[in-house]
Structure 1
């Protein structure tokens, strides 16, 4: 089961949210979870998990994003990267349902005409694995060419709530799929 919550208050994502038991400590949600919220994104080099970005001194910044923090307790990092890719693919599907054309997935990032829509990372904590996925709401003052939900005429809260529900449903569907097959010899 994947519990989910849309948090209405704005929070700045600075990388410290990518830590064990984020949902439990902040929202009393225990277990596998995905939390969505809006707010700025400003990740300093010291808080970056992606060492390729650290080596390039490529800080992450956006005036406004929709953020999702996923925490899973029974996964290893490779499986969590698979889950991350499913999450990103679901975002692409939702955008297409909302009549956005030309969305391209490259690994764990989304683009339209070489303008970046999202950031994402998966990592390991001492007790779980975690994913941060952020999609721009505003494309103003970003360090690379971007597009945001505002540019696409998509309401950020509607989008966020759609993704939370669809991701939770997808995880539950995977759990049910593994419980309906018999073993083979």
Structure 2
């Protein structure tokens, strides 16, 4: 799993979950996770979550920490499982840094009634793509929300820690499947 924290801001508009985005933009071939900061404003034509489209739900944040994950040869159900592993890792890291008890509901993180993250896993022709975003500045979000600024968490070290933890978890899963015999 290749890991990159991109220093420049990128506005997330949903186009980044296209297959091979990390290859085209950063020359990362293969499974990868790229983190960056930037606003989030997804037009309906780019929304992968059809429920959000049907409910006319706006997805917007003034500033988020974004993660774009790509796993090649990965069916959607496995991609959703990996998305939820990533969400749990992020939740655990938030709790450890703040002492606040967060709740994971599916692929989202909450602090009580406040939504902290958004996420989608979607299939492509060659891979499963995951977008996971954590609010940095949650002001003007379309739902009650909190962000990393509310918890005084710096985005870059937080991103680096959870990307490393995710890569280690996947390596551990690979090791676990290589050490068992058929029964």
Specify which structure has the higher proportion of helix.
2
Aligned partners of 1:100 and 1:152 also within 8 Å: no
Q: Where does residue 109 of structure 2 map in the other structure?
A: 110
Aligned partners of 1:18 and 1:69 also within 8 Å: yes
Q: Where does residue 16 of structure 1 map in the other structure?
A: 15
Query: 1:22-69 CA distances to partner (integer Å, 9 max, x unpaired)?
Result: 111111111011110000000011110101100111010001000000
For structure 1, which runs of at least 5 residues remain unmatched after alignment? none
Match of 2:161, SS state, is helix
Q: How does 1:165-180 map to 2 (within 5 A)?
A: 165-180=164-179
Mapped partners of 1:108, 1:131: distance in 2: 11
Q: Where does residue 33 of structure 2 map in the other structure?
A: 34
Whether 1:5 aligns to 2:4 is yes
Mapped partners of 1:164, 1:37: distance in 2: 12
Match of 1:178, SS state, is helix
Mapped partners of 2:96, 2:143: distance in 1: 26
**Aligned CA-pair RMSD:** 0.7
Using the TM superposition, give the Cα deviation of residue 84 of structure 1 relative to its aligned residue in structure 2, in angstroms: 0.4
Instruction: Give the length in aligned residue pairs.
Output: 183
Q: Where does residue 122 of structure 1 map in the other structure?
A: 121
Q: Where does residue 59 of structure 2 map in the other structure?
A: 60
Q: Where does residue 82 of structure 1 map in the other structure?
A: 81
Using the TM superposition, give the Cα deviation of residue 91 of structure 1 relative to its aligned residue in structure 2, in angstroms: 0.4
Aligned partners of 2:98 and 2:151 also within 8 Å: no
For structure 2, which runs of at least 5 residues remain unmatched after alignment? none
Q: Where does residue 139 of structure 1 map in the other structure?
A: 138
Aligned partners of 1:70 and 1:132 also within 8 Å: yes
TM-score w.r.t. the length of structure 2 is 0.98
